[in-house]
Amino acid sequence: MAPADDSEATPALVEALEILGQWSEWVPFANALDMAPRLPGVYMAREGTIGPLVYVGMAGERRGSRDRPQGIRGRLAIYARGKGLASGLGEAVFDRALADVDWLRERVAEVERREAARAKEWGKAAFVRADLHVRWIVAPDKAAAVMLERSCLDALASHELWNRLR
């Protein structure tokens, strides 16, 4: 029987994912780019330092500048730069910011002061508002990362996540 309070279920669900491999430590999203590997894998996000698990995502072998693989670091960098507003975690974070009246009032006040920002700046502000912490697990290639992500999502089937496509 599942606990009525979903926040109570989160530690047990996250602990169940430990059997899938060696996960990194949780780090604040703002610090993740300094630590995330340029390898394919799966990442998960939670709200705050001990908040509920909210998202599970996958990063394959992306190619960056000078043909350097980007992997998990590349995926997180897209969000950190405010460029991922229409997909995955970026969309989920931005949707929640747009539903926050106080956050919107701050953006409107910026516009009224003629300090209007570009969309990517709003995306960055949405991630600050979200206060996410992330961790990851490396996979040998994109195909393995896809399978690992599916295993995580299947294990979390009863848990409410921000992922739209499950």
> Is the pLDDT score of 1 beyond 50?
no
Position 12 in a domain:
yes
What is the C-alpha to C-alpha distance for residues 34 and 149, in angstroms, rounded to an integer? Answer: 23
| Average confidence (pLDDT) over 136-140 | 96
Position 2 in a domain:
no
Position 161 in a domain:
no
Position 58 in a domain:
yes
Contacts of 55 (CB under 8 A, 6+ apart): 44, 45, 88, 89, 92, 161, 162, 163
Domain count, the chain: 1
Give me the residue label for tokens 């109570």.
8
pLDDT tens-digit map of 33-61: 999 999 999 999 999 999 999 999 999 87
Segments forming the whole domain that contains residue 121: 8-155
pLDDT band at 64 (very low <50, low <70, confident <90, very high): low
CB-based burial label for 71 (10 Å; 0-12, 13-18, 19+): buried
Position 3 in a domain:
no
Position 41 in a domain:
yes
Position 123 in a domain:
yes
